[in-house]
Structure 1
Amino acid sequence: MIDTEKIPLTEADTAAYDSTAQILKAAMAYVNPSIGRMMAVMAKSIELRHMMQYLDQGGVSACGVNNRAIPPEEVIRDLRKYCGAKEKEQLDRCLNMMNMAKMYEMYRNFSGSGDLSAMASMMASASGADSGESTNRDGNTCSASDTDYLRKMQSMLTPEQIQLIRNMNGQQNT
């Protein structure tokens, strides 16, 4: 069961709230099941009526969203507030995968290649380079700006993501 004390009410929940509906739901535990079902339907009908009124008056809108495109990451981070620990973990994995995809796309744009082995070897050389030019294990030269860029990319990844890239590199080389 989710610890509901730590999960905030959404704007829609607040708009649909009705003390009579809450009383009906609380009283359901003290009546026989057939009357309890009727009370549950009445409570939900009251909440539904409030929700329809709220939506007719303009409804739910995230702050400043109106006509701009909303990045999926922003939506996921907002939804995360209303989740339990298990759901938060799933959303975090989704965010990590989205970040990996963005990093890979940045790499492809940067290098003009979709080869993960080049990315892994360049990241390996970036983590060991000091300044100036360095040569990765494939014999490709990385300039200082390339190395700085790759270090920045690497700092945005979790250790698990870095290991995944290394593992993928190993699979491509076999």
Structure 2
Amino acid sequence: MDAEKIPLTEADTASYDSTAQMLKAAMAYVNPSLGKMMAVMAKSIELQHMMQYLNQGGIRACGVSNRSIPPEEVLRDLRKYCGSKEKEQLDRCLNLMNMAKMYEMYRNFSGSGDLSAMASMMSSAAGTGSGEAAGTSGSAGDNEYFRKMQSMLTPEQIQLIRNIGNQQNT
């Protein structure tokens, strides 16, 4: 378990019971068979509280009713309850989602799914085109657009796009 303090969820707060906490703390001081019984009692108390909470309306994420919640919003909210390893995994997922969105924006923008054009435009926007002068792959507006897209990516993601673009050219 990480040393950092992870906050309680709304559900944890609703199911909290001081008696259950005392039972769990006391488990370390009794024989194992009595400790098991105390653990079951503590969890059943918490379960009762959770059922009462859910019967009274339960949890609503950010007060939403029937609106569609973007997956990125869910992942960003879940980050609060993660340790450092889990946060890294969620961050990777969020980066991949951002990359997919940017690719979709590119496809809509250019009317093409050709990643080699995207890689070329990103290279020229960054001034690192392979043998090309900056700006020859598109207009100044295109370059500005791809500079903004590039600023949202990690260097590894930029290299991945360039590699895919190079593979499509061969």
Q: Which moved more, 1:158-167 or 1:104-113?
A: 158-167
1:81 deviates by: 0.5
User: For residue 41 of structure 1, what is the aligned residue in structure 2?
Assistant: 40
Aligned residue in 2 for 1:120: 119
1:149 aligns with 2:145: yes
Q: What's the counterpart of residue 135 of structure 1?
A: 136
User: Is it true that 1:30 corresponds to 2:26 in the alignment?
Assistant: no
- Stretches of structure 2 that go unaligned for 5 or more consecutive residues are 129-133
Q: Which moved more, 1:164-173 or 1:33-42?
A: 164-173
**Percent of aligned positions with the same letter in both sequences?**
82
1:165 to 161, 165, 168: 161
Deviations 1:31-81 (A, max 9, x none): 111111100000000000000000111111122322211010000000011
1:122 CA displacement: 1.0
Partner of 1:79: 78
Larger CA deviation: 152-161 vs 78-87: 152-161
What runs of 5+ residues in structure 1 fail to find an aligned partner? 137-141
Tell me the secondary structure at the aligned position of residue 62 of structure 2: coil
Normalising by structure 2, we get a TM-score of 0.92
After TM superposition, give the deviation of residue 160 of structure 1 in Å: 1.6
1:134 counterpart SS class = coil
Partner of 1:10: 9
The two structures, once aligned, show a CA RMSD in angstroms of: 1.6
CA distance in 2, matches of 1:81, 1:50: 23
Partner of 1:93: 92
* Residues 8-45 of structure 1: CA deviation (Å, up to 9, x unaligned): 00000000000000000001011111111100000000
